[in-house]
Amino acid sequence: MSRSAGRIGWLLVWAVVFCDIGSSVYYVPGILYDSAGDRAGIFVLFTLVAFLLLCSKVVEVTRRFPSGGGVVSVADKAFGPWWGCAGGQLIMVDYFLTVAISVVCAVYYVDSVVHLGPMVLPVTLCCLAILCGLNIIGIKESAIVSTVLAGSALIANLAVIGSVLLRAPGEVLAAVPAEIVSLAALSPAQVLVGYAGAWLAFSGLESLAQLAPAMRDLQETPRRGMIAVAVSVLLTAPTLTFLCTAGLSADVKANASQRLIAELASAWGGLGLQIAVVLTATSLLLLAANTAIIGNYHVQLALTKREFLPAGLGALSHRFQTPSRAILLGTVVPGIILWVVGGDMTRLGELYAFGLLGSLMLMSVGIDVLRYRDGERGWTFAIGILTSVAVAIAFAATVIWKPMATLYGGGLMAIGLATAVGTRSGWFERVLARIPRMAPPIEVVRTDIAFYTVAQACELPKDPTPGILVASRGATRKIFREACDRAKSRGQTRVYLLYVDEIPGLFYPQLAAPTPEGLTVLDAGASVIRDLGADPVPVWGLSHSAPGTVVDAAEALGCDTVVIGATQRTFLWHALRGRFIQELLRLLPADIRLIVVG
């Protein structure tokens, strides 16, 4: 497995996606109960069929678009750039609500044991501010951590199910088939509204497509990962929803709908199981919120590079090299939404479906169009059409019978599209140029600096003796002098200069290219190396692990010495983004020396 690319297998894919989708089970039963009553479990079960059909299409998205992008890439390829822009706006609407619901739900679960009372909303906003700060600094999201949390949450949920099945009296379990029979009493409109609302249980599918660049392969890895996700959801989502409506009193369902899984654990498993659920639920929900923030700003960056959002929105923080403005937008909007609705989970649930179903419908129809262009006409194509119809019906029901969701989603989308028109026409650039710190820099960043990827540098003729690699985030002369002196002592003139743009999180940006800082370091470093009488080979890499990329590059280029500068990062940087030198020492093989200058 490549250290630099951070390639992940099906198990880690399952963990990341299940952390996103699986977190929905903690708030869906309560939100659906408020609108569908005791029939909530029926709607989740029916919607599960359409979800399973859609899973195969999401796997296909990863194969067709290995660089990621999800609905943006699908809509762009199938219908054109402006549809890609619309897809991006829809998924951003979805991400805003995912962040808001996940964070406030996490706090409500804590409230079930700590009793925060009126402090729920202030604590939620504080948690949101902390997530914002962590992402601006650039917290490194780990697939291993996701695996531990996903596994713990799945075990806790299965323990709740087992406790209810073993301890609940027969009349409680007998209520489940009675709920199914009662569906016949509903009008077609009520059925459609319940069906549309139940899609909330399956939000998070987009994260699989966004993981494509990090996967070990695009054949078995996404397929196996999605099968594992589908099985996990099948075991938990409908069952827990049924048991919440059948196994809890009407009073609890009415007054504690924000945390029904914790109440179910308390009622049938005791305090210990309730605490286990609260710990796993809170962790998973906060992780899901963080993943949504990361996904949101990656969509924003993709739209800025396509010139549908102002370029200033994607500007990187000089200190942390993260898109701080995009991150702020991705957390401030959910904060405003939470403040407006007062942290009310039911009202948040009412707003949710528009962006989720709109983006899923656009992605599903887009895949149908691409299949048609490729000449597919068999049963797979027919099932795909059926899937698109199922999602389109849910979206239409939302638009017709959920006016607040339509107003919220349609309003934000209209603002986004208007911004895109203003950006494309140049109007926004002229306005932003007059706002301090939003104007583009006066100096022009060079984009014609010659550099190699590691793979391209490997194709160059190699010296007969091992080479020297200098990895630097600055143009400090003494670091390059050390590398040049060591190369000359071997009778070599070549020095490899490596700069790594380290990307926090698990998603890779689309249309990746060196950051302005990276281009500056490569250009200035190459100039210093030439002045010192050596021949520089500038190399650029993009990864989630800078130490892993350095090690992979050294091995691939045949270098037995790596030269770096002493770190000047703060304790907070090390705590959130890791210790570069320590990680590099851990990964370096015994036959490669590390020279730390300064």
Domain ranges in the chain? 10-300+327-399, 454-597
pLDDT at 4: 42
Question: For residue 496, what pLDDT is reported?
Answer: 92
What is the structure's pLDDT at 459? 87
Q: Quick one: pLDDT at residue 506?
A: 59
Residues in the chain, pLDDT under 70: 1-7, 139-143, 318-319, 428-430, 432-449, 474-475, 504-513, 566-579, 598
pLDDT at 204: 81
Please give the pLDDT value at position 207.
82
Question: Which pLDDT does position 388 carry in this prediction?
Answer: 95
- The pLDDT of residue 147 is 84
Per 3-state DSSP, what percentage of the chain is helix, strand, and coil (rounded to 5)? 70, 5, 20
pLDDT of residue 434: 66
CATH superfamily of domain region 454-597: HUPs (3.40.50.620)
pLDDT on residue 180: 75
Maximum Cα interatomic distance, the chain, rounded to a whole number of Å: 87
**CA-closest candidate to residue 564, choices 454, 480, 465:** 480
| DSSP calls for 265-325 | HHHHH-HHHHHHHHHHHHHHHHHHHHHHHHHHHHHHHHHHHTTSS-GGGGPPPTTT-S-HH
Q: Same topology for domains 10-300+327-399 and 454-597, yes or no?
A: no
Is the whole-model pTM more than 0.85? no
Q: Which ranges constitute the DSSP H helices of 532-592?
A: 546-556, 571-577, 580-587
H/E run at residue 470: strand 467-471
Question: Which class is domain 10-300+327-399?
Answer: mainly alpha
The predicted structure's pLDDT at residue 507: 62
